[in-house]
Chains A and B, each alone.
Chain A
């Protein structure tokens, strides 16, 4: 049958892409995990060592604990934001949805400095607390610090996916519940939340995976006893033969896939796609006065909390010297002048790279979710597993893998190795951020009723035309959400990029920040560059949301003659 042949063709090209740009390069690096370091023979002894080592066992438990608690706190932050903005006629919903993305963009190095200046043991908050109450709260110390930062950093995953899911719920479901006497929190807990479960789980599993695999946050807090940091520290030391770094990487990948699989089991059979009568989205209503006041207070509190690192970044970028004080000593625009006069190409490069990468991500994400959910291709789930596994691969490993694999491959017409062509950076970003787009696309496709596709096929649209004209437009919300997440996080990715930059003229913004942050004088310009990244992404996601909202209004409100 031709339809089967096409889906196998698509599936195998996806598999080929993942194989060439993920499995082989990573495999080339981490095979040492399976090698006896003295004989070179294949062995599992290194894994035995891993479980025998108490430091690693502790690290494993710490990572698990941090990931679990981060999901909890991220949910507490994300749920009210998602619910209020989708449930009520609420001024500035778009702004909240947009600002909700911003925490995902934590520029490397400067982000860490900004957080410390604000929440650190001698940061602004603690200095004030000390002055007023003689208190010092260790926000940024140890595992609790990691949990705080991870929750603030990654809650947007839940916000984005949950909002998309809430917007897709058939209104009659909610009305039916109200009709049967259910209201308020009870209604939310018993009807709305279960219906939005696929979206919530998509977001929550990302938060869990990210918090479990994340390297940046524990590094910035100098918490070493977690798996990702242990892997990184062991891989990126010079001249160390210890295979444990790679062993940990393998374990991170396996565990990530395992938790993904669990979340899939949990969401199985919860395909609550709306009928296609278009009556989707929660019933929006106006709030009463005191409700409004309460909601605004809550939302403003949450926004200030999650945006505090960026507020601090803003101060840092305009401040002259900021050291052991509540605010910088004075303010200046000199840092911006320096950034704009010397490093403009970093910004354009970043927009280009992150834009291409995020577009690839949603394209591949749509393709993979389609193959997984809508075809019978044998082994299709593995596409999902492998692509998501990228989440757990440390950027350094991917970077080294690319150098090792593609340095001898000369690109035709360009005449230089693929490994030193700027396109390799784009590919690295694509692979690294694919899991985000993939989860968003899968959740979106879950909510598209299959009869809408059948109707199109019935009217003569082939699979491709159906995907293009029906599925993609109906998934638009999820696709945009996926694009925004991938784009936002790609703009500030560093670890793989730093390995792959071969010419300053090809370098993205994160590299620029790195270069600035190598010297004491570079802190201000670094912060300015970081803030520019944040603003650019925020603007991009605002436009994206604007686009979605406008489309939705068109669908619902265009008045018939």
Chain B
């Protein structure tokens, strides 16, 4: 603790000394996916510290932000890219659109939970963490007489059928991290089985990550898998919702990076330093913002029940997250999820419902034939078109990569072709599973 304190103090001093020496540019353009509450607060605080700099917060969906920076690269006018999803930064990094930056501030650990805070290559920096969890609408659950969930496994129970929602990992980088964490934690086959059991209960797979808290807030569906600040800020805004971290939660960092050829590099650097400084980190505790700071000492000032990933090892620490693995099969996992869950949600739901009904009918009875059929049906639902080894096969994953590195790189197979094969397998499996389960039920 003392060490931390001293570090923080010296950082503060360094920052203070460094600031007046540099004449910052008059402007700073930040492309960000963060909500108004967060951006405005930081903008005000930063402008107070540097009255000469005018900060322009350009709010774009993460995907739009990435495309924006890619397309305007030849005549770049953006200084910083500020968003959660590490994959967005990875894409920009691969395209050579980010600039390396050596953070001057010290005292920031290497990992938060089990996730590395900074890009090992030095292009983007983590400034906060967020945990995934479950939020629910209390009125909804009460009206429908559904118990509040506590763990991921709860969401696979029949009682939640048609009452849950989640956004697709292909639409939200943070959701992707959650999926990947489950896959790494539970193992490829078991992980997908759990995901499909949860998915079979979905009311909806939303197109954007905010669609989940939005749906729960309205009462469109009762339970959602969301990032913590969505749940907690909804609660703070007065909605009848509650949020809980399951025992095994996943932790995702939030990042910032300087855009290559930024027109105002000095101001950009100053903003990053401010963000990582004690003062900047403190802002994260604001209930409207509410993210987990990357400076451990800040937690001392946090409200009582604020989770501290540096102390509480259950938050995101159970799984040793392998970034390289995740990165290599990134698009493959997304595509697989879409084919198996998002696009075939109706079929998956029907099959799951049939199995749940059969199991309910089965309760307390003993019918080996029916039990076998149900087991078969469950196996069919869980069956995967791709095994774990294949998911790490670089050549195979390349089909889903953004672009060929060189014209000579040979890729065999096209994504559409592969997806069609998966789709026909998944579709017939689900149909077959539903049929088997119904048959089993008729036997009971």
Contact = CB atoms under 8 A, between A and B. Distances in A.
A403 B217 contact: no
Contacts of B143: 324
A54 B419 CA distance: 10
Nearest to B144: A122
Contacts of B171: 233, 237
B410 interface: yes
Nearest to B423: A55
A322 B58 CA distance: 30
Contacts of A269: none
A157 B424 CA distance: 39
Contacts of A502: 58, 77
B220 A116 contact: yes
Nearest to B31: A502
Contact of B415 (A244, A504, A511): A244
Nearest to B165: A222
Interface residues of B, number: 88
B414 A403 contact: no
A6 interface: no
B74 to A, nearest CB: 5
B67 interface: yes
A407 B74 CA distance: 7
Interface stretch (A43-51, A273-281, A297-305): A43-51
B91 A324 contact: no
B170 interface: yes
A404 interface: yes
Nearest to B338: A233
A39 B412 CA distance: 10
A528 interface: no
Contacts of A321: 237-240
B392 interface: no
A407 B137 contact: no
A128 to B, nearest CB: 13
A145 to B, nearest CB: 12
A516 B60 contact: no
A404 B71 contact: yes
Given A120-B220, A239-B331, A233 B240 contact: no
A517 B241 CA distance: 18
A50 B137 contact: no
A38 B412 contact: yes
A53 B420 contact: yes
Interface string A257-288: 00000000000000000000000000000000
B240 to A, nearest CB: 5
A499 interface: yes
A243 B417 CA distance: 12
Contacts of A242: 335, 400, 415-416
A499 B403 CA distance: 22
Interface string A306-339: 0000000000000011111100000000000000
B68 interface: yes
B402 A241 contact: yes
B239 A323 contact: yes
Given A54-B424, A233-B171, A237-B63, A403 B72 contact: yes
Contact of A322 (B61, B218, B330, B423): B218
Contacts of B88: 238
A120 B411 CA distance: 45
A45 to B, nearest CB: 7
Contacts of B34: 518
Interface in B168-225: 168, 170-171, 173, 203-207, 210-211, 213-215, 217-221
Given A53-B423, A321-B238, A407-B75, A240 B219 contact: no
Max chain B Cβ within 10 angstroms of own Cβ: one of A116, A240, A404: A240
Nearest to A218: B207
Contacts of A323: 137, 139, 217-219, 239-241
B334 interface: yes
A521 B173 contact: no
A96 interface: no
Nearest to B408: A39
Contacts of B74: 407-408
A400 B420 contact: no
Interface band, chain A: 35 or more
B75 A417 contact: yes
B400 A240 contact: yes
A359 interface: no
Interface in B228-252: 230, 233-234, 236-241
A237 B218 contact: no
Nearest to B204: A222
A238 B210 contact: no
A243 B205 CA distance: 23
A349 interface: no
A520 B60 contact: no
Interface in A488-515: 498-499, 501-504, 511, 514-515
A37 B414 contact: yes
A46 B56 CA distance: 41
A324 B219 contact: yes
Nearest to B412: A38
Interface in A86-130: 113, 116-117, 120-123
Contact of B71 (A243, A400, A503): A400
A120 B203 CA distance: 12
B350 interface: no
Nearest to A403: B71
B423 A403 contact: no
A110 B334 CA distance: 28
A219 interface: yes
Max chain A Cβ within 10 angstroms of own Cβ: one of B168, B220, B334, B404: B220
A519 B35 contact: yes
A40 interface: yes
Given A239-B87, A519-B37, A498 B58 contact: no
Contacts of A432: none
A52 interface: yes
Nearest to B214: A113
B58 A503 contact: yes
Given A238-B91, A420-B77, A520 B234 contact: yes
Max chain B Cβ within 10 angstroms of own Cβ: one of A52, A233, A320, A322: A233
Interface in B35-92: 35-37, 56-64, 66-68, 71-72, 74-75, 77, 85, 87-88, 90-91
A236 interface: yes
Contact of B207 (A142, A233, A239): A233
A237 to B, nearest CB: 5
Given A49-B416, A520-B217, A400 B170 contact: no
A224 interface: yes
Contacts of B417: 49, 52
A224 B61 CA distance: 20
Contact of B411 (A38, A53, A237): A38
Contacts of A517: 210, 214
A329 B124 CA distance: 44
A475 interface: no
B37 A521 contact: yes
20 contacts: A38-B404, A45-B414, A46-B416, A55-B423, A222-B206, A236-B63, A238-B87, A240-B415, A244-B416, A323-B219, A323-B239, A323-B240, A324-B139, A400-B71, A498-B60, A504-B56, A518-B36, A520-B214, A520-B239, A521-B37
The 8 closest A-B pairs by CB, nearest first: A324-B219, A403-B71, A520-B234, A49-B416, A518-B35, A38-B411, A519-B35, A324-B139
Interface of A: 37-40, 45-46, 49-50, 52-55, 113, 116-117, 120-123, 142, 219, 222, 224-225, 229, 233, 236-244, 320-325, 396, 399-400, 403-404, 407-408, 410, 416-417, 419-420, 498-499, 501-504, 511, 514-523
Interface of B: 34-37, 56-64, 66-68, 71-72, 74-75, 77, 85, 87-88, 90-91, 137, 139-140, 143, 168, 170-171, 173, 203-207, 210-211, 213-215, 217-221, 230, 233-234, 236-241, 288, 330-331, 334-335, 338, 342-343, 345-346, 399-404, 407, 409-412, 414-417, 419-420, 423-424, 427
